[in-house]
Chains A and B, each alone.
Chain A
Amino acid sequence: MALMALTKGLRARPVKAPESGISRRKSLWERTHLDPWLLLLLLVLMVSGLAVLFSASGQRIEVVMAQGTRFLVGVVVMLVLAQVQPVTLLRWAALVYGVGLLMLVAVELVGDVGMGAKRWLVIPGVVRFQPSELMKLAMPLMLAAWLSRRQLPPRWKDIIVCGVLLGLPVMLIAKQPDLGTSLLVACAGVFVVLLAGLSWRFIAFLSVAAASALPLLWMNLHNYQRQRVLTFLNPESDPLGAGWNIIQSTTAIGSGGTWGKGWLQGTQSQLEFLPERHTDFIVAVLGEEFGLVGMLLILILYLLIVLRGLWLAMAAHETFGRLLGGSIILTFFIYVFVNVGMVSGILPVVGVPLPLVSYGGTSSVTLLAGFGILMSIHGHRRLLPR
């Protein structure tokens, strides 16, 4: 009941907030359907990310340039998506999801193998594409579209439908194998269902079911995936093999201390002790060079983005928009939590990048596209309370 009171008090504010800005500005942001705060926070994050990347890449400016280019592409995609009416998204949801699923099947059948996993779909000479990235957005889109038309909280039948819609692509991605992405896609779907009001009893039931399914999951894991889990439990057991990453990354972070060793001064990172230091383990470079202060600052930056995003989602007037926006922003946090948790040694090693900081094109573009959708949901809300 106390929570109800809290939400009631919040109800009026989303409408008020944009109105409290300067009137000229307001009209600009409204016309472009962008959220200035979120945009500002994202820009700060991207610039900080490029600075860390410069250090982590061994001060190779061309890596920073490539990443900057991808950010540019991502921002353009974001701006374009912000102009798309949520209704349009709702209409296209099933098609996007269907195409994504088909492409995942295609990957399974004719996919390109790289780094021991089948993740890429290649149309020779035209494009190299990772359908699982598309699924990161298609999944919440599909579930939000489905549930927004149903009576909420969802019923058993809806939950089963959602389960199937969620399970198929997640299994396909996990089979590639790409544990990180399948986890993110699963989270994106689960968040939609949770936000739609999945009953607590059902949540409890699912948790028990999931716990009992763990042994089954373990048996179906690839050897290297099991190794990662075992190594996570005791990294010292294999200090030069699988445990090396974790030992070196915790060493990098721990040796950073409160204030860090200074930009470009991290010995662990600059001397190449850190593996994958400019991709999945980039936060270790940040921890080493900027210390606890830098780490807390970046965490606060991420928290502000997530809270702002959650706020925007809450302010949406349509259930579809709320569910989609909420799922996108919560998944964004999962990126952060899983990545930082893994690098600092409290989670097993799962291939999840640090959003908008780790080097890597597709995920940055997908993330920015997600923020575009979020802004569109907020920017296209009906201006008057319903």
Chain B
Amino acid sequence: MRERRDTLKNPEQELRIFRVRAMLAALTILILAGLLSGRLVYLQVVQHEVYSTRSEKNRVRVEPLPPTRGLIYDRNGVLLAENRPTYNLTLIRERAGNLDATLDRLQELLELSAEEAEGFRIRARQPQRPFQPALLMSDLDETQIARLAVNRHRLPGVEVEAQLLRYYPDSRIMAHALGYVGRINAEEMRTLDPGRYAGTHFIGKTGVERYYEDVLHGQAGLRQVETNARGRVLRELGRTDPVPGQNLALTLDRELQKLAYDLLDGRRGSIVAIVPQTGEILAMVSAPGFDSNQFVTGIDFASYRALQEDIDLPLFNRAIRGQYPPGSTIKPFLALAGLVEGVITPDKTINDPGFYQLPNDSRRYRNWLRWGHGRVDMERSIAVSNNTYYYSLAHEMGIDRLHEHMTAFGFGQRVGHDVFGESGALMPSRDWKRARFNQPWYPGETLSVGIGQGYWQVTPLQLATATAVLANRGQWVKPRLASLIGDEPVESELPDTPGNIHVQNDVWWDRVFSGMEKVLTGSEGTARRTGVGLEYRMAGKSGTAQVFSLGQDQRYNAEELAERLRDHALFMAFAPLEDPQIAVSVIVENAGGGSTHAAHLARAMTDAWLLEEEAPDADEIREAMDSDDSVVAGN
């Protein structure tokens, strides 16, 4: 080693040094190669399972297969809710890379307005299970689909997904009864079974769609697919088919429903028709309606606001949630209760001077006819809708018994079997008043209840149901909308049906019905003009619900009141009298006296149902009504 300082080159030594160094290098190389081999053995043998699993997870993705939602038919097989193929824009956030850039590109491609783009951003960021597609936009048109297809490579995570979208052919007519489906919101997402709803973007929000959601939805299937790193599906490895939702046949009759809607002619109001023996709801209309299809594709904010702020409340389902004082329509029920309680007999008469006074009270409770009806028996009290008779009846029965008997007819309760969102309205009682106002019940309030005013409120469905029970001579039926689920008929005996109403003497039913028939056909009947030319026997009762209460001795003049302060017109009826096939309740808001407007509509409904002709044209009926301008005073 000391030779190092020599000035001469020493080839021998240089070769020796090189050989030593080269040998060391070779040794090092072998060690490093051993290190690499060790690492490979670790990865490929020791940890093989771990990486194998990870690699499988990489490539295999489980995709939900949403089930097809069940169809909804009317009682004659007319399609009310169908599924239309449409194309949706979905986004898997995890695969989108730069989400904002992708959304910007989408906005540009689809020429979205700023507001629409904002909606995209909100929807894209909604809480979502990882790697589940978020729905950005429904119902793409062909141009949009083409643009997306061409730019697909620039839009990671974005998919155009073919989907069946709910469509309601008669959306305005059916909107309230049928309800609609809408996008599953974040709150619903939390409560839903994620397995069942995997891949489903829609859920029933109201009506039949909501009540029968379980039946209509079905069960999601799954498919295992192989994907590449960008999430594109390459092939299917296995699948479990979805179980489609069951079809539903309703009791509704599309033609009758349409007639009812047309009869209301854009007025605020409701018509409900029920088959008394079975409780099948033939028609359940709330007017004005709205286009429920808007809610399926996602209604824009402005349209939704317009609907919400519409003074006619088109979104409000009057048939089951509208609460109206029943007015005189409840007089037949009260008469029957009076007979049962023995406060009246069929033939006992009272003398009506045009008002009623409580003992030791100077206040006069007025009959609608200022000078009174004179001698009035039960049947006449119904036919002419005498108030004094019922003031007296109510006073003698007292609120407790009155409440008990009216509750038996379903008033103050939810009566529907499969009606979503029904209101129980209000049948007042002593207890209720104490709880509500912390006040005792005053005898004068009983008189108001006696003519269907005061606190008493009913829904159109309740009134129709009570009418059906009356027509059944006390046999209870729960109104229902579904008749077939899949191929299975809905059970005829429904649980929780209230107890039947028994009276000591069956003739009493006939006497009450007779009074009701005279409403339409009697010489003094309040709806005698409606009864002209009846081809079957019909029983009915008119009613007027005061929107605006009158002071003592004030006279009511419909002309002077603003349209929206005018009384609501009500009518309830069933026919034919001997073998009732249909029970109807009609409420037309602010239409004035019941016998004028509502009775015509009720008859049009029974005519259409019983005469089995082509449904009469609503225009003709309206024409006939308009020509009948002689207003029959009555309530």
Q: Which residues of A contact B (CB under 8 A)?
A: 3-4, 6-7, 10-11, 151-153, 191, 194-197, 248, 250-258, 267-268, 271-273, 287, 291-292, 295-296, 299, 302-303, 306-307, 310, 313-314, 319, 322-323, 326, 330, 333, 337, 340-341, 344-346, 386
Contact present for A6 and B23 (CB under 8 Å): yes
Residues of A within 8 A of B55 (CB): 251-252, 254-255, 267-268
| Cα A273 to Cα B226 with chains together (Å) | 12
Q: Closest CB of chain A to B572's CB: distance in Å?
A: 67
B44 interface neighbour in A3, A11, A254, A323, Cβ under 8 Å:
A254
Interface string of B29-67 (1 = CB under 8 A from A): 110110111011101110110111011101100000000
- Given contact pairs A3-B20, A250-B51, A322-B18, A292 touches B36 in the complex (Cβ within 8 A): no
Q: Closest CB of chain A to B377's CB: distance in Å?
A: 88
Interface string of B1-17 (1 = CB under 8 A from A): 00010111111011111
Contact present for B25 and A310 (CB under 8 Å): yes
Q: Closest CB of chain B to A140's CB: distance in Å?
A: 14
| Cα A107 to Cα B36 with chains together (Å) | 36
Given contacts A255-B55, A272-B228, A273-B58, 8 further A-B contacts (CB under 8 A): A11-B19, A152-B13, A195-B22, A255-B56, A257-B48, A268-B55, A303-B29, A333-B29
- Given contact pairs A153-B4, A323-B18, A253 touches B40 in the complex (Cβ within 8 A): yes
- Given contact pairs A3-B23, A271-B59, A292 touches B41 in the complex (Cβ within 8 A): yes
The answer to the question of B227 belonging to the interface, with a C-beta cut-off of 8 Å to chain A, is yes
B side interface size, CB within 8 A: 49
Contact present for A307 and B229 (CB under 8 Å): no
Residues of A within 8 A of B39 (CB): 341, 344-346
Contact present for B36 and A254 (CB under 8 Å): no
| Cα A68 to Cα B44 with chains together (Å) | 30
Closest to A255 in B: B55
The answer to the question of B234 belonging to the interface, with a C-beta cut-off of 8 Å to chain A, is yes
The answer to the question of B230 belonging to the interface, with a C-beta cut-off of 8 Å to chain A, is yes
Residues of A within 8 A of B20 (CB): 3-4, 7
Q: Closest CB of chain B to A44's CB: distance in Å?
A: 18
Q: Closest CB of chain A to B149's CB: distance in Å?
A: 20
Interface of B is mostly: helix
Contact present for A314 and B48 (CB under 8 Å): no
The answer to the question of B21 belonging to the interface, with a C-beta cut-off of 8 Å to chain A, is yes
Q: Closest CB of chain B to A158's CB: distance in Å?
A: 12
Q: Which residues of B contact A (CB under 8 A)?
A: 4, 6-11, 13-23, 25-26, 29-30, 32-33, 35-37, 39-41, 43-45, 47-48, 50-52, 54-56, 58-59, 226-230, 234
Residues of A within 8 A of B36 (CB): 299, 337, 340-341, 344, 346
| Cα A200 to Cα B140 with chains together (Å) | 75
Contact present for A10 and B19 (CB under 8 Å): yes
| Cα A86 to Cα B8 with chains together (Å) | 22
**Can you spell out 13 A-B residue pairs with CB atoms less than 8 angstroms apart?**
A4-B16, A7-B20, A152-B13, A153-B4, A194-B21, A196-B18, A253-B43, A254-B50, A255-B55, A257-B45, A340-B36, A346-B36, A386-B11
Residues of B within 8 A of A250 (CB): 43, 51
| Cα A330 to Cα B26 with chains together (Å) | 9
Contact present for B44 and A253 (CB under 8 Å): yes
B32 interface neighbour in A152, A273, A314, A337, Cβ under 8 Å:
A337
Residues of B within 8 A of A323 (CB): 18
Contact present for B58 and A326 (CB under 8 Å): no
Residues of A within 8 A of B43 (CB): 250, 253-254, 287, 344-345
| Cα A271 to Cα B230 with chains together (Å) | 9
Closest to A322 in B: B18
Residues of B within 8 A of A11 (CB): 19
| Cα A344 to Cα B43 with chains together (Å) | 8
Q: Closest CB of chain B to A299's CB: distance in Å?
A: 6
Contact present for A151 and B8 (CB under 8 Å): yes
Contact present for A253 and B51 (CB under 8 Å): yes
| Cα A11 to Cα B18 with chains together (Å) | 12
B59 interface neighbour in A152, A153, A273, A322, Cβ under 8 Å:
A273
Q: Closest CB of chain A to B56's CB: distance in Å?
A: 8
Residues of B within 8 A of A319 (CB): 9, 11, 14-15, 18
| Cα A273 to Cα B231 with chains together (Å) | 10
| Cα A252 to Cα B326 with chains together (Å) | 77
| Cα A348 to Cα B452 with chains together (Å) | 87
Closest to B51 in A: A254
| Cα A250 to Cα B47 with chains together (Å) | 10
B228 interface neighbour in A251, A273, A303, A307, Cβ under 8 Å:
A273
| Cα A341 to Cα B36 with chains together (Å) | 7
Residues of B within 8 A of A296 (CB): 37, 40
Residues of B within 8 A of A7 (CB): 16, 19-20, 23
Q: Closest CB of chain A to B116's CB: distance in Å?
A: 29
| Cα A256 to Cα B54 with chains together (Å) | 12
Contact present for A256 and B11 (CB under 8 Å): no
Contact present for B33 and A299 (CB under 8 Å): yes
Contact present for A310 and B26 (CB under 8 Å): yes
- Given contact pairs A254-B43, A255-B48, A299-B36, A197 touches B18 in the complex (Cβ within 8 A): yes
Residues of B within 8 A of A307 (CB): 26, 29
| Cα A333 to Cα B54 with chains together (Å) | 31
Residues of A within 8 A of B8 (CB): 151
